[in-house]
Amino acid sequence: MQSKSSNHPTILLVTSDDLLRRSLARQLSELGHPVVTARDAQGARLAWEQSPAPVDLLLADVLLPGMGGPVLARKLTARAPGLGVIFLSAHRGEVLIAQGVLPPNALCLSKRHPTELLAQAIHRALVPPERISRSA
């Protein structure tokens, strides 16, 4: 699912860190993605409703005020089962999965990452696993 107004998926970016949100929004825009931003889960649900194009991917901080990123992702993927999800964290994704903070097979990026890694994660989040394994 990609927005009709762009060849690139629309991304809902959710983090309470204002500097990180601005930096990531700029990175995503430079990659050609329409971006909708919010600082918390409540704002994310409002941004989801008001987005000019359907949201294709949720890029959310694991820790958010009020409701954490994993809970927000469960709520939004229940409404849109094809929604891609990437989590942001200062901690390693494998550790968060092992601790049960993130679901198995969750995609998690460090908050400090190169743009190329972000682009690869977006591709992985949006391409069904069976298509990735067939093309590998």
Q: What is the pLDDT of residues 20-37, one digit of tens each?
A: 999 999 999 999 999 999
On the 0-12 / 13-18 / 19+ scale of CB atoms within 10 A, 2 is middle
Q: Is 86 helix (H, G, I), strand (E, B) or coil?
A: strand
| Domain with 50 in it | 11-127
Question: What does the pLDDT read at residue 14?
Answer: 97
Per-residue pLDDT of 69-125, as tens digits, reads 999 999 999 999 999 999 998 877 677 777 777 777 888 998 888 889 999 999 999
- Domain presence at residue 132: no
Count of domains forming the chain:
1
| CA pseudo-torsion sign 16, 43, 79, 123 | negative
Q: Return the CATH number at 93.
A: 3.40.50.2300
Q: Is 129 helix (H, G, I), strand (E, B) or coil?
A: helix
- Domain presence at residue 4: no
Cα 99 off chain centre by: 20
Question: What does the pLDDT read at residue 135?
Answer: 35
- Domain presence at residue 49: yes
Distances (CA, A) of 10 to 31, 36, 71, 73, 84: 11, 8, 20, 16, 10
- Domain presence at residue 136: no
- Domain presence at residue 2: no
- Domain presence at residue 113: yes
